Amino acid sequence: MSQAVSQTVVISGSGLWTPPYSISNEELVSAYNAWADQYNQEHQQAIEAGSMEAKPYSSAEFIEKASGIKSRYIYSREGVLDIQRMYPSFPERADDEISQQAEIAIAAAKAALQAANKQAADIDAVIVSCAYTQRAYPAIAIEVQEALGIEGFGFDMLVACSAATFGLHRAYEMVKAGTARAVLVINPELVSPQINYTDRDSHFIFGDVATAKVVERAETATSEHQFEILSTKAVTKFSNNIRSNFGFMSRAQDVDPFAIDKLFHQNGRSVFKEVCPMAAAHLESHVAQHGLSAAEVRRWWLHQANINMNLLIAKKLLGRDASADEAPIVLDRYANTASAGSMIAFNLHHQDMQAGDIGVLCSFGAGYSIGSLVVRKR
Ligand code: CO8
């Protein structure tokens, strides 16, 4: 293709795959508390002798108050609620079968292609960006590319909570520079295998989901809902406060895959305190680049980790509480879906926007990483 520079770039279609199963706080807490009873009985002597600590109960009320989460969707439900197991079950698939992560990525991608009025032949690149990929290679993006019949190239990228926004940044740059006509950015957030369902501090936080977007030149876009990407902004700052250590070195390190520091773990209070001011300052300076104040933004599709974080960030930006219409919340149903949270919010809350309305997509979390896009409805 010819190398055209400085294209007007739009998000022209958005897709969402929601798992067929969900788990309410009450169901999750009931399974966890039964597991804790069993654990405490098994270790009664050691607990009484003071050499082990008893597992405390979890509470549905605490979860909703501390996080805003009421339930979460999940790819595979049974193992999580089985107190003899306490982790999901994903039967291994043969090399010639589609992987679970590619399967959910394809479902979201098909919805995004349909929303954008695009065929496989219109797409030049596939980016799969998410918190974890289920294998190192071949890239999940290339598996998706093959399954959808897309020519061109694909690659995976991992930036935890900011994978989706950072993926959109790369797509924007590729289309802007003319190295791809249209890019499919997919976020198959299959996070349940990395959750420690025996840790009451974190067992409630996450859910599975997949989201996708088509990014293309304005001149080729024909869909009903198009959002011009006005600019992107990203920042990272190293922090150990959110970590997951299981990886390709684990076998050589002789580690126990069930050890608490191998799965997702965090210092949630520090994350809250450190990330909220970073995110608010980032967003304020990003919209200011366009000569805009926060009050002139019609919609904030914020990262969906914790309702109290979103309320605080919106208040720092606006000087008042944001309405649900200005900063929609989806984490009550979906929980924290790693990088996909703000993408789900966009997916469910963009069709009412009017031409000229400004919106901001934003992620914040592990890394630390913050990513944003300022967009304008066409
Ligand atoms: N039930 C009852 N009580 C509980 C529970 C529970 N489930 N959990 C904790 N408590 C207790 C604590 O033990 C503590 O008791 P005490 O005061 O006696 O010590 C008390 O409640 C208060 O605990 P916390 O201080 O931990 O509670 P907070 O009010 O801080 O709320 C949160 C905890 C909800 C975790 C909160 O700190 C938070 O949301 N922080 C922000 C975290 C965040 O956004 N993290 C994002 C991480 S995710 C991310 O970036 C993506 C990573 C990639 C995806 C990974 C997928 C697996």
For the stretch 258-271, pLDDT in tens is 787 889 999 999 99
What lines the ligand 1 site, CB under 6 Å? 58-59, 62-63, 66-67, 131, 160-161, 191, 194-195, 200-201, 204, 206, 242, 264, 266, 268-269, 271-272, 305-306, 309, 336, 338, 365-366
State how far the Cα of 118 lies from the Cα of 243, in Å rounded to an integer: 38
Nearest to 127 by CA among 178, 183, 188: 183
- Let me know if 188 is exposed, middle or buried by CB neighbors in 10 A (0-12, 13-18, 19+): buried
Residue 170: pLDDT band by 50, 70, 90 thresholds?
very high
Is the entire prediction scored with pTM above 0.75? yes
Strand partners for 125: 153, 183
List own/partner pairs for 324-329 with CB under 8 A and 24 or more apart.
325/299, 326/297, 326/298, 326/299, 326/300, 327/299, 327/300, 327/302, 328/299, 328/301, 329/68, 329/304
Burial (Cβ within 10 Å: 0-12, 13-18, ≥19) of residue 146: middle
- What pLDDT was estimated at residue 5? 56
How much distance in Å is there from the Cα of 255 to the middle of ligand 1?
26
Residue 153: in which H helix or E strand, if any? strand 153-158
* Residue to probe by mutation, ligand 1, list 27, 196, 199, 201, most atoms within 8 Å of CB: 201
φ and ψ of 138, to 5 deg = -65, 150
161 carries an active-site annotation: yes
Residue 64's Cβ-side half-sphere holds a number of Cα atoms within 13 Å equal to 12
SS3 59: coil
List the one residue out of 306, 276, 298 whose CA is nearest residue 374. 298
Domains and CATH numbers, the chain: 227-377 (3.40.47.10)
Mean pLDDT across the chain: 96
pLDDT digits (tens, 9 = 90+) for 27-53: 999 999 999 999 999 999 999 999 999
Render 341-375 in DSSP notation, one character per residue. Answer: HHHHHHHHS-TTPPTT-EEEEEEEETTTEEEEEEE
DSSP letters, 85-143, are: T-S-------TTSPPHHHHHHHHHHHHHHHHTT--GGG--EEEEEES--S-SSS-HHHH
Residue 362 has a CB neighbour count (10 Å cut-off) of: 26
Q: What does the pLDDT read at residue 248?
A: 87
Q: Which of 68, 6, 358, 13 is nearest to 205 (CA)?
A: 68
Q: Does the pLDDT value for residue 325 go beyond 50?
A: yes
pLDDT in tens, 254-312: 888 778 788 999 999 999 999 999 999 999 999 999 999 999 999 999 999 999 999 99
Q: What integer pLDDT is reported at residue 343 of this predicted model? A: 98
Secondary structure (DSSP) of 244-289: ---STTTTTTT--TTSTTTS-EE-HHHHHHHHHHHHHHHHHHHHHT
* Ligand 1 atom nearest 192 alpha carbon: 57
Compute the chain's Rg from CA coordinates.
21
Instruction: Compute the distance between CA of residue 209 and CA of residue 103 in angstroms, rounded to an integer.
Output: 12
Q: To which residue do tokens 């069993």 refer?
A: 38
